[in-house]
Structure 1
Amino acid sequence: MKKLKFLLTLAALVLFLAACGSEDDGASEENGSAGEGGGDGETYTVGIDTTYPPFEFEDSNGDYKGIDVDLITAIADSQGFEITLEPMDFGGIIPALQAGQLDVAIAGMSITDERKEVVDFSDPYFEAGLTLVAQQENNDIEALEDLDGKTVVVKSGTTGAKFAQDNQDEYGFEVTVLEDSPSMFQEVSNGNADVLIEDYPVIAYAIAESNLDLKIVGDRLNGDNYGIAVLKGENADLLEKINAGLQELKDSGEYDEILNTYISE
């Protein structure tokens, strides 16, 4: 009888230990799954230029807004990664990519052959184009041919700056380079420069929203397309996700909704 009780007790103990082991294993598997799920979303640092509305700007609450900000946020949500926005001067964005301080750049950056030597671009996401901008009262300038002896102000590191420098000898104007768009607008408004060269949607938005004493003159100087950039030869998987997310936004209509939030056709 004692032997039977001993065997029954031993059997119960074995079953108890087995049950505990199963619960522990289940808990371990559950915790492991949660850990793997938490690690799925990489976090990437994204360079932006917050002096560039309607594509990037800082609102009165200190929040970053604009077409570029909304686009990259929506792409990240679509593709399951996280982003940290890093504001900086436009001219420092590509060097920051090269230095490994940024993973991505979205800053109204035109796709050019020169930039393609150091970065890989996404599919184009916006058609822009450069334009001349003068004071409202200035009726003497309508085209590049009117710039002989004039001063043209541009922003450092932009396609506008390159366009001006490439064409200054042919059209006989001087070039002044500044670090941000507001300073450039002020330089023309104050009469310290005759015209500026800026991306059409940016200056059209600035004039409409800020009542600047400026006007767009003549036809667009070119037809630039904006792209999202990563360092050349790096982050190919990330670039693939960016393109996939961008296409999803276009297919769903969210891309148009974002543009319409900031630009009225």
Structure 2
Amino acid sequence: MAYLALPKTALVAAVALGLGSASAVMAQTPTVNVVTDPSFVPFEMMDADTGEMIGFDMDIINEVAERAGFDVNLTTMEFNGIIPAVQTGNQEIAIAGVTITEERAEIVDFSDPYYDSGLRIIVRADNDSVETIDDLAGMNIATKIGSTSYDYLTEKFGDDAEITPYPGTSDMYMALLGRNVDAAFYDAPNVAYFSQTRGEGRTKVVGPLYEGQQYGIVFHKGSDWVEPTNEALEAMRDDGTYAEIYEKWFGEAPNEE
């Protein structure tokens, strides 16, 4: 078989064109810096076997990323550093069970709500003196640094209770089990998860749901990813993907009206 030799200039041009096309294809999917809290189970937690972050939020952001058209470069940090990291632009997106509040919305942008939550009380199983939030007056209450539960407690009690903020939820629950605090007050799904797993038989959740809240995905102000994310979340609800992820982590279908 005879081969047709290309002029050197034509060959170089062809190679350059091929490389340029490959680069263009590779550049089609941008990588976005996403930050989360490594200890908010079952929303985000480290898989001891794989060393990867798993959880409800992780499944949500990965599905959103696929639909919105970006790859996730995931970073973890303590919760109280997440909003500042996004606000300053060090991180583009955050997903960590972040409650949408007016104060936070002044410095970052939020997606549409993707989870309905609230705050609950958890005490040791042998504590029969606490039934409502008012019963916590004069007690030592654990919560998490930078959380809306901390804000709620300080506004509710002021100096009428000893409020102890912890950097992580595991520290908070260990303080409760170790009798260093009388109760813990935090996001309802996390409280329920602990009570049903590591705290089973040793703790109980009491009282009603306080301060109904909604979680949102966080973006720096003016981010171009807000609208594609909202579109992805809506599509996930419409085609049942959201319900599948929800049931995977919470054992029941979401209550959506």
| Fold shared by both chains (TM-score > 0.5) | yes
Q: Which of 58, 83, 104 is the aligned partner of 1:69?
A: 58
Structure 1 segments of 4+ aligned residues over 4 angstroms from their partners: 15-18, 23-30
Q: CA deviation at 1:188?
A: 1.3
User: What is the match of residue 255 of structure 2?
Assistant: none
The reply on whether 1:249 has 2:236 as its aligned counterpart is yes
The reply on whether 1:192 has 2:180 as its aligned counterpart is yes
User: What is the match of residue 114 of structure 2?
Assistant: 125
Cα 1:89–1:16 shift into 2, 3 Å: closer
User: What is the match of residue 72 of structure 2?
Assistant: 83
- Rounded Cα–Cα distance in structure 2 between residues aligned with 1:78 and 1:247: 11
Q: CA deviation at 1:100?
A: 2.4
Residue ranges of structure 1 left out of the alignment (5+ in a row):
1-14
Q: CA deviation at 1:232?
A: 2.0
TM-score (norm 1): 0.87
Q: CA deviation at 1:246?
A: 1.3
The reply on whether 1:49 has 2:34 as its aligned counterpart is no
Q: CA deviation at 1:148?
A: 2.0
Cα 1:195–1:17 shift into 2, 3 Å: closer
TM-score (norm 2): 0.89
SS of the residue 1:251 aligns to: helix
The reply on whether 1:102 has 2:91 as its aligned counterpart is yes
User: What is the match of residue 156 of structure 1?
Assistant: 145
SS of the residue 1:222 aligns to: strand
The reply on whether 1:216 has 2:209 as its aligned counterpart is no
- Rounded Cα–Cα distance in structure 2 between residues aligned with 1:16 and 1:85: 49
SS of the residue 1:161 aligns to: helix
Query: After superposition, what is the alpha-carbon deviation per residue over 1:105-125, rounded to whole angstroms, capped at 9, x for unaligned?
Result: 000000001111111000000
Query: After superposition, what is the alpha-carbon deviation per residue over 1:75-130, rounded to whole angstroms, capped at 9, x for unaligned?
Result: 11112211111011000111111332211000000000111111100000000100
Q: Which entry has the higher C-alpha Rg, 1 or 2?
A: 1
User: What is the match of residue 183 of structure 1?
Assistant: 171
How many percent of aligned residue pairs carry the same amino acid?
34
- Structure 1 or 2: larger helix share? 1
User: What is the match of residue 143 of structure 1?
Assistant: 132
Cα 1:148–1:16 shift into 2, 3 Å: closer
Q: Please give the root-mean-square deviation of Cα atoms over the aligned residues, in Å.
A: 2.1
Say if 2:195 and 2:205, in contact at 8 Å, map to a contact too: no
